[in-house]
Structure 1
Amino acid sequence: RNAVALEARKFYYLHLYAKSLRPGLNAARKMLDSALEKASALYETASGKVTNVDLMKLTYASSELDKYLIQAEVGEGLALAALKHTMGAAEAAPLLLADDSLPGAGDEPPELDALLRIALEKRPEFAQIKHGKQAALALEKAERRASFPVVAIAGQFQASWTPTRDDTNNPYHVDPYNDLFGGVALALQFDLDPA
């Protein structure tokens, strides 16, 4: 659910951003057209103040400006269509947006202490530092416990019987039948590290 809200917010602000670019680009278009007209007139007089290279630079700037105007126009419509799609609305459905342009940035950023507090709560790097400290403490604890002595008890028991074979009493003959034996072992391991 949060992912859908995040996508909708992203498309909403993209639409407002593309829409907010158009007035500035239109104003630049008027200035560039005026400059191109004046430069063409000066070039026709052959006074040497404007060269063919200057005219080509202005023509190139005009085509670049056209590109940005098209991108802003297409981006505005595309972001609105993506917003409608994310919200599950039909493409032809009317959509009234709350804002006409992007909200302005605040005059002054918050104080450094407030920014650090927000970062401490929300930035993943601070969570990594916290978990790293916990991991280092856990490693220290594990290393301390690794030097504790280890006590182990092991046991074995085996029994076998067959009615068709007699038990032998010869100690030098291995008889795996009619057998009963077992044992217990106690082990202690520790490291002596005086350092």
Structure 2
Amino acid sequence: MKSFLYVCMFIWALCATAGPCLAADDQAPQAPSPITTPTPPLTLDDCVRLSLKAAPELGEVQSDIDRATSRLDEAKSYRFPQMEVTTLVGPAPIAYRSDAVPALNTDKPFSFNALTWFTSADATIIQPLYTFGKISENMKAATHAIEVDRSRKQQTSNEIVLKVHEYYNGLLLAREMKELVLEVEEILIRAREKAQKLLNQGSDTVDEMDLYKLDAFSGVASKYLEEAKKGELLALAALRARMGMPVDAPLETGSERLVIIDTEIPPLETYLEKARQRRPELFQIAEGLKARSALVEAAKANYYPDIFLGGLFSWAYSDERERIQNPYYNDPFQHLNAGVALGARWKLDFGITGAKVAGERAQYNRLLSTRVYADTNIPLQVKKYYLDLMEAKNSALATRGAYLNAKKWAVTAVANFDFGMGPAKEIFEALQAYSTMRADFFKSIYNYHIAAANLDYATNEPLRIHEK
């Protein structure tokens, strides 16, 4: 009867709101409402792609790559000529050829009234020919530094992918837990209604204490429900932040469930070999050693001179000074000189170059120690994630059978209680076992997916399409 009344009230409300609308339609046509295309739910792969696109960390690493590229361009530019130009404009004393010809006048005092203006331009150009490795080794070091930063960008991308896997699977776990608690709450509500009915009928199989136990158990279930809701909201907030979305932006994810992917796990040696071949950190160390070795050679090159081809051009002009065409004389205010020469520039110091070489060699040795550490600990990390994966898979298979049997136990206990054949205590014990086993089952699946993501990270595995 209640359902019928609700239906009647709903139809009456619908007619009451539709009547004026239909009358308005008869009076004036309305513009068609815009068609909005619903945004499809985001899958794990969608979240990964959006996170990689919005990640500020990748922008930081890309800036490091650009800076390393500019250093390479700078090192390459030292192969080309370098020119230095100086221009002057200022006063100069007036002078004529008669002051020097036929004899040099050595008794001509300076006077402010005998000043004129001059302008000059001096240019030197240096073309390096051979620097004993100063240029080539710095170019080599800059080239390997670019590869180090590129590999670091790949490592950063892997870390972002791993974080998205953690957030997304955490969201799925929270939803599974929420569904489990809602299922338990529904069973408890039905059991309490039945207990109250039996108590009202004066049944001996139930008493007030059973109602108190059911209410207490329902309160615990409500507590876990709130925790599951909080976990879901936190996971959604973390995904929004990771994808660069506003805090209050709507986010709808896919309807995946936490399930075990029934695939055969390769042996540990396969993952170890992948890590040795693909791990970005190992590639960074290898390229870093090449860069450091080149910097050591570049520092040692300072022991030797630079061989270059030099050019000189000097010009000066003053309208109150006559030019003297004699190579013996060089008038600083009226001349035109140019020349080319082969030269060597050698900077000698007492200990500075040796200290720089020792410093670069120390950095190289430090990286050697880092390589030893990586060669030892990366396989250990891979083995840990592999064992986590195997343990999570076996635990999920074990707890699955346990929670299925616990569910049968709970169904039987509730049925016996409904027929007045069993105590309420059986319901509590069965529900407690069922909820615990099912929660452990989902946690094992969550651990399985996280361990798989960690293995992908540890072996630099490309992003795999998420299997539903």
TM-score band by shorter chain is 0.5 to 0.7
Between structures 1 and 2, the one with greater helix share: 2
SS in 2 for 1:124: helix
Size of the alignment, in residue pairs? 123
Q: CA deviation at 1:17?
A: 1.5
2:192–2:211 CA contact under 8 A, matched in 1: yes
SS in 2 for 1:12: helix
RMSD (Å), alpha carbons: 2.6
Distance 1:116 1:26 in 2: 40
TM-score by length of 2: 0.24
**Cα distance, 1:49–1:118 mapped onto 2, change above 3 Å:** farther
SS at the partner of 2:221?
A: helix
In structure 2, the residue matched to 1:115 is 267
CA contact (8 A) 2:185 2:221 kept: yes
Q: Give every structure 1 segment of 4 or more consecutive aligned residues whose post-TM-superposition deviation is greater than 3 Å.
A: 107-110, 118-123
Give the structure 2 partner of residue 95 of structure 1.
Answer: 251
**Do the aligned residues in 1 keep the contact of 2:168 with 2:239 (CA within 8 Å)?**
yes
Identical amino acids, percent of aligned pairs: 32
Structure 2 match to 1:124: 380
**In structure 2, what residue type is equivalent to 1:22?**
K
Which residue of structure 1 aligns with residue 183 of structure 2? 27
Is it true that 1:59 corresponds to 2:315 in the alignment? no
What pairs with 1:1-195 in structure 2 (closer than 5 Å)?
Answer: 1=156, 2-97=158-253, 99-107=254-262, 109-110=264-265, 114-118=266-270, 120-121=272-273, 123-124=379-380
| Long gaps (5+) in structure 2 | 1-155, 276-378, 384-468
Offset at residue 105 of structure 1 (A):
0.5
CA–CA separation in structure 2 for the residues paired with 1:125 and 1:76: 30
Q: Distance in 2 between matches of 1:69 and 1:55?
A: 21
Contact 2:173 2:258 in 1 (8 A): no
Q: Alignment partner of 1:47: what SS?
A: coil
User: Residue type of the partner of 2:260?
Assistant: A
What one-letter code is carried by the residue in structure 2 that aligns with 1:124? Answer: L
Report 1 or 2 for greater relative contact order, CA contacts < 8 Å, sequence distance ≥ 6: 2
> Structure 1: which 5+ runs fail to align?
128-195
With structure 1 as the length reference, what TM-score do the two structures score? 0.53
Q: Deviations over 1:95-117 (max 9, x none)?
A: 343x312352133653xxx3333
